[in-house]
Structure 1
């Protein structure tokens, strides 16, 4: 149902989709600033709980987080409004790139992307600071967050984030004997959760057989991208080898075209999984591009509304509330690790960059400057460095 609230959700997420550079962890920082600090749609604990759930699920964590926020605010229509708004800008760019408008290489040498990456460092740093100060309120939680960051940085394996969340939850359960109850209502009945989970697993099993029997190219691509979104942890960079093996090398497009499209995807804001639209459009035109896009995000549409009410229900239990204290500390640790790699690694290359990031952080944290003003500051400083 389209109403004013869902239209508002769409435009808010469209704004985020136009300016959220830096990958999924950076997106979490932008979501935190927008929905926890600015709009007060969520408190720190609610945001951390959603983030933990989406880190635990396979698929695109930042898109799942946005979908969850839209679901809480406007039900399923609000969830799809959030997804559409956040995804649309990068989809448009990737479809245009597939049709030959791929001369985006000039951005690589411009001052705009470095400026936005420095802004991203400040945004993520502010999110880690805010979440850490409110969720890691004692030494055991601070140690748990630091240990989680250590584990993620040392191993670097995509599945380590899931293991960190599980271990942090277990530690929280063992440490905290008198947790605070959390009162949250399920958004979707449990019967529907079971149905959605059933559809998720049925598609995972049935689609490969259906694609092989039919010989239909669009169905085959849908199956490839659905499987990629349904079984891969760690985001777009992790899904790259799977997609390259299944679609490139002359199967649907050449390796050079595949890698060129992936390079363009690094330059645009919004979710990296919109690279699927480039592959599909290159392989079979606009409709095939939409098929691939829906395929890779289908697990999000099924898993988030299926798992969120279960997650809410468990969070109201005493033992689960204790575990979630640990889980939330683990999430802070994961974000702290990601602040260094990839956000810091990509955005800070000199003492000048570090100074700009510090200035942007101070603007956001202490001067309460709007994000657009901080972005202009970072871009201007990047221009003066290049000039």
Structure 2
């Protein structure tokens, strides 16, 4: 597939990456604003912007009045079409992929069943999907893969320590994919990938601290502190699925009584009805139709979500807490219980929580993989 490769360009310098990030995250700015924000001299900024323009990454925009007084200034803006990236999301049985531009806007989406859960087959399948999409969207710069599991850096190499849904342990997934497709690749826990996407391109843009909670098949937590996504020493930062909620509550699959996942995961909501043959979609419909047992299951889940949100607010003191995921209906059906649990568990002197509930499409997981590739391209 060499015909789909972009001709190699010189690696970006630190100042060039910083300038590109500034425009990518905060939008068009004048040269004076960029120099002031990044502490660059005029000569350095001239060299930096010249390189970025030559590489097709930024362009001059129209004149704008950038202050209350003074003359209009010419602004610089990102050229989103300047680069393309492939994002991949792996579940236990399916592969989702998107191609995005530099601003993480999806240009194509694709999904197919996993051939098998073997590492070799999954890597080969990612390679095949890359070839299929690159034929239609040439110039893909890098690949990012998100999946449930713990990812850490060891000796300069990314290692997937464990992915329970796939049964993988100690897998250098990013390196294997990079060797297969001939492009830089990076891998990360899917919730942290989604957190990175919201922080740069979503409702968290511009915030130095935020927390993202995903509800659905599992419960995930992503944390941003000082503008960086927190990973943790062992790739387990934000692992709060077993936070105690109610000591006399139901047991989770690990034997904990009344923990967060025993109430809030989609399977826990289904299991609360004790009725064979139900799935999450059918329980959701029952709740919306007023079924008492289904409504109670969602109320219990909403309470658990409120305990989690308050705990994170008390611990992290973030500027914003975002809630999303394919189980987001809990915020619709149990908002009263969610708010009551926050009020009951929030520190008495704590500021009001800036709660942002975001709708969710499953392709967002794959788009988050592309954001990983974009961030790696900018070495962030």
TM-score where L is the length of structure 1: 0.23
Compare relative contact order (CA 8 Å, sep 6+) and give the higher one, 1 or 2: 1
Relative to its length, the structure with more strand (as a share) is: 2
Which has the greater radius of gyration?
2
Relative to its length, the structure with more helix (as a share) is: 1
TM-score where L is the length of structure 2: 0.24
